[in-house]
């Protein structure tokens, strides 16, 4: 298929998603647990947009003619598909994250073998049925369901897959990289996003944005706000805003319009949050809101939005990704302490800083050891075309997904040299 034909295919895939948008959103809410009205419909719309963006962007993926010393030579570069792209995706965004790989992968000319998370395999099957309407040639997109350690391991290591894309935990990402051996790998492996609120910040917007970063999708986002580092002069005001926000969350049936937070997706995630809260309380943190499950709502996976204060460096919430609705607050006395604590974790995906001082904003944006830094914005802010990935030296992944960068990652750059003689 030519580039233009692949572009049209991506637009057809987007059209198919939009035709079935409400069905897809309903399945997403029931399978994953996120609220239908505030989150599920938005995710479906972004999945369609992802295919449109890739279909448009690939038409302008230009390469270059390279000047050389020899007068009789002409050297240029071209971009070619990598081949069969194996993608292994998680359960927190069962439409958007697969599309982040599928859309640029197909636009670039790859074929896709997709292994979804078992706990949202109903979403995966529904999405595939919808995509079948787009007149995609047989074999371009292939869905394989089953346990990740079995199915994913086989596909990642198979000699007939040529590259790997994975979003998930650092531990699984390391295993996938080892299993993939010398194949190109695009890995997004999570974070423990620090948000720094300095003493000159606009406090009400800072507290509101930070709380949203903790509660969105019940905290089950790799770029969620996982640690809140607040200057001691403004701590009480920020904490008050977080507690007010937590008490305003409507936890319940995700199909109801008034619900703003649904259940966690699975028991291991809930159990991890149990452990992080217990560890923090045992080591001296204080609980100001939430802190427990709400099984009376119909499932033990409903988890209260939780605010912890007096958190310390040795606590699990400082070093591990909680992946739940937790807002652990650490108090800092100056910029250097905030930077030291923020950079202490071996995860480095997204961070945020709130300040009115331009010099401080630039200092933090350059010294925070994350792949993405938000200034006066919450850590979950995201658009399809923004390069997204972790910092070197951390365990948050390799490469960048998003926009043009994804097309570059999912293609091979080939150099071609012509001998043209005397012209």
Record the pTM: 0.95
Burial 114-151 (b: 16+ CB within 10 A, else e): bbbbebbbbbbebbbebbeebebeeebbebeeeebeeb
Quick one: pLDDT at residue 423? 73
Quick one: pLDDT at residue 91? 98
Burial class (CB in 10 A: 0-12, 13-18, 19+), 3: middle
CB 162 within 8 A of CB 196: no
- Which stretches of the chain score pLDDT less than 70? none
Quick one: pLDDT at residue 118? 97
Quick one: pLDDT at residue 422? 80
CATH homologous superfamily for the domain 194-375: Aldehyde Dehydrogenase; Chain A, domain 2 (3.40.309.10)
Whose tokens are 């993926």? That residue is 61
CB 396 within 8 A of CB 350: no
pLDDT in tens, 171-203: 999 999 999 999 999 999 999 999 999 999 999
DSSP 167-235: ES-HHHHHHHHHHHTTS-EEEE-----EEEE-TTS-HHHHHHHHHHHHHGGGG-STTS--EEEEETTTH
* 3-189+396-418 and 194-375 agree in CATH topology: no
> So what CATH class is 3-189+396-418?
alpha beta
Distance of CA 27 to the CA centre of its chain: 21
Strands 84-88 and 73-81: unpaired
Quick one: pLDDT at residue 218? 99
Q: What are the sequence ranges of the domains in the chain?
A: 3-189+396-418, 194-375
Residues recognised as catalytic: 188, 222
């Amino acid at each position: 298929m030519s580039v233009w034909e692949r572009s049209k295919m991506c637009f057809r895939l987007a059209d198919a998603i939009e035709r079935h948008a409400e069905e897809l959103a309903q399945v997403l809410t029931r399978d994953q647990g996120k609220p239908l009205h505030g989150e599920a419909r938005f995710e479906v719309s972004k999945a369609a947009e992802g295919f449109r963006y890739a279909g448009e962007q690939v038409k302008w993926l230009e390469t270059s003619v390279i000047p050389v010393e020899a007068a009789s030579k002409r050297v240029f570069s071209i971009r070619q598909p990598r081949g069969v792209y194996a993608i292994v995706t998680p359960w927190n965004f069962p439409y958007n994250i697969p599309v982040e790989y599928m859309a640029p992968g197909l636009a670039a000319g790859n074929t896709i073998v997709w292994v979804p998370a078992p706990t949202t395999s109903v979403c995966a099957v529904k999405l595939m049925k919808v995509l079948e309407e787009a007149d995609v040639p047989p074999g371009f997109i292939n869905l394989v369901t089953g346990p990740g350690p079995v199915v994913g391991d086989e596909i990642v290591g198979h000699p007939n897959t040529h590259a790997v894309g994975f979003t998930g935990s650092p531990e699984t990402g390391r295993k996938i990289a080892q299993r993939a051996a010398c194949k190109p790998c695009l890995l997004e492996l999570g974070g423990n996003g620090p948000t720094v609120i300095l003493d000159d910040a606009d406090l009400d917007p800072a507290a509101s944005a930070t709380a949203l970063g903790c509660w969105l999708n019940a905290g089950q986002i790799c770029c969620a706000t996982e640690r809140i580092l607040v200057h001691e002069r403004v701590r009480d005001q920020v904490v008050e805003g977080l507690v007010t926000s937590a008490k305003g969350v409507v936890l319940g049936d995700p199909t109801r319009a008034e619900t703003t937070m649904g259940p966690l997706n699975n028991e291991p995630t809930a159990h991890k949050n149990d452990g992080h809260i217990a560890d923090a309380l045992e080591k001296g943190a204080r609980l100001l809101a939430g802190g427990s499950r709400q099984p009376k709502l119909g499932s033990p996976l409903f988890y209260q939005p939780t605010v912890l204060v007096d958190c310390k460096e040795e606590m699990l919430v400082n070093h591990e990704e909680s992946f739940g609705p937790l807002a652990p607050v650490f108090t800092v006395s100056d910029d250097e302490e905030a930077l030291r604590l923020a950079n202490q974790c071996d995860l480095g995906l997204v961070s945020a800083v709130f300040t009115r001082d331009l010099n401080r904003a630039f200092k933090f944006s350059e010294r925070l050891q994350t792949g993405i830094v938000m200034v006066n914005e919450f850590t979950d802010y995201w658009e399809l075309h923004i390069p997204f990935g972790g910092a070197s030296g951390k365990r948050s992944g390799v490469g960048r997904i998003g926009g043009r960068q994804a097309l570059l990652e999912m293609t091979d750059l080939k150099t071609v040299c012509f001998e043209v003689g005397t012209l």
